[in-house]
Amino acid sequence: MQINKIMVVGAGQMGAGIAQVCATAGLEVLLHDVSEASLQKGITGIEKRLQRAMEKGKLTGEARQAAINRLTPSSTLKDVKTCDLVIEAAVENMEIKTKIFRDLDEQAPEHALLATNTSSLPITEIAAATSRPEKVIGMHFMNPVPVMKLVEVIRGLQTSEETYQAVKQLAVQLEKTPVEVNDYPGFAANRILMPMINEAVYAVYEGVSSPEDIDTVMKLGMNHPMGPLQLADFIGLDTCLYIMEVLHEGLGDSKYRPCPLLRKYVKAGWLGKKSGRGFYSYQE
């Protein structure tokens, strides 16, 4: 299947990043958001990142302008009628995602594939909200999308081989490395990453060591570019907690129980970098 035109639903950090790499790779892109302010912010962010890439010599002026020309803002899902693929990157909430997929299923052409950038929610359940479950798939990009090379390509129970191959080929076209993953809670990346972060939080909770020293152990001892607690702050502690709850509920194993300290920080509004305080302070 040839994919020429894509709609990205959600103009936040992930959606804008996905739209950017698709437009840079030569695809026509509609960036959709229900919020006009979010849409404008997303477009502006893409233009700034492309400008920086050009200034660093990673992109020519012609390539930058061509990518911008391929990008069109969209305020209505009806625009999906001309698209071959949709990549949904809305908020991580099953009720919201299933509503989006029901609407997309009604509006998108029969041949169109529907992908979700969810980091933890079951693809099979999202697909069940549509009349084309064989054309629904997970396409989990890593943050920041323009920099990170990995894409988890996640098969739902009914995802067809044709759908999987088309999305895998697209990931390669975007200069990403696709890995095949089946539909289990947390997929592969978060199934491994989040318990490590949670265990680091337990180490702080139990007084094993300080956040700084735990991160130093992982950076210098295990050659991680960033410690797990700093990484948790960058991801968002509320997001980490949410994914741990998905793992705990979905797998029913006590080893995925979120650390009480993680819950306490989230209840306090200490969500990490985005709130100015997590395991570290980000106040100016």
Position 189 pLDDT exceeds 80: yes
Q: What is the tally of structural domains in the chain?
A: 2
Spatial contact of 90 and 156, defined as CB atoms under 8 Å apart:
no
Domain shared by 67 and 172, yes or no:
yes
> pLDDT tens for residues 216-255?
999 999 999 999 999 999 999 999 999 999 999 999 999 9
Going by pLDDT thresholds of 50, 70 and 90, the confidence category of residue 283 is confident
119 is catalytic: yes
223 is catalytic: no
Give domain status of residue 284, yes or no: no
Average pLDDT over residues 118-136: 97
Position 124 pLDDT exceeds 80: yes
Spatial contact of 281 and 275, defined as CB atoms under 8 Å apart:
no
Ordered DSSP codes for the chain:
----EEEEE--SHHHHHHHHHHHHTT-EEEEE-S-HHHHHHHHHHHHHHHHHHHHTTSS-HHHHHHHHHTEEEES-GGGGGG-SEEEE---S-HHHHHHHHHHHHHHS-TT-EEEE--SSS-HHHHHTTSS-GGGEEEEEEPSSTTT--EEEEEE-TT--HHHHHHHHHHHHHTT-EEEEEES-TTTTHHHHHHHHHHHHHHHHHTTSS-HHHHHHIIIIIS--SS-HHHHHHHH-HHHHHHHHHHHHHHH--GGGPPPHHHHHHHHTT--BGGGTBSSSB---
- The pLDDT assigned to 282 comes to 96
Task: Return the closest-CA partner of residue 86 out of 112, 120, 53, 125.
Answer: 112
Domain shared by 43 and 113, yes or no:
yes
> pLDDT tens for residues 75-90?
999 999 999 999 999 9
Give domain status of residue 226, yes or no: yes
Indicate which residue of 74, 119, 120, 198 is catalytic: 119
Domain shared by 37 and 119, yes or no:
yes
Indicate which residue of 74, 117, 120, 190 is catalytic: 190
Domain shared by 105 and 127, yes or no:
yes
Give domain status of residue 263, yes or no: yes
Task: Return the closest-CA partner of residue 83 out of 8, 149, 173.
Answer: 8
Indicate which residue of 28, 88, 92, 152 is catalytic: 152
Give the percent of the chain with pLDDT over 90.
97
Give domain status of residue 280, yes or no: no
160 is catalytic: no
Task: Return the closest-CA partner of residue 183 out of 104, 130, 128, 235.
Answer: 128
Spatial contact of 124 and 114, defined as CB atoms under 8 Å apart:
no
Indicate which residue of 88, 117, 140, 198 is catalytic: 140
Domain shared by 118 and 237, yes or no:
no
Domain shared by 213 and 88, yes or no:
no
Domain shared by 41 and 136, yes or no:
yes
Average pLDDT over residues 205-214: 98
Domain shared by 111 and 195, yes or no:
no
Identify the CATH number of the domain in which residue 164 sits. Answer: 3.40.50.720
Position 284 pLDDT exceeds 90: no
Give domain status of residue 281, yes or no: no
Domain end, chosen from 139, 166, 182, is at: 182
> pLDDT tens for residues 103-116?
999 999 999 999 99
- The pLDDT assigned to 231 comes to 97
Give domain status of residue 49, yes or no: yes
**Domain range spanning residue 100?**
5-182
Domain shared by 156 and 207, yes or no:
no
190 is catalytic: yes
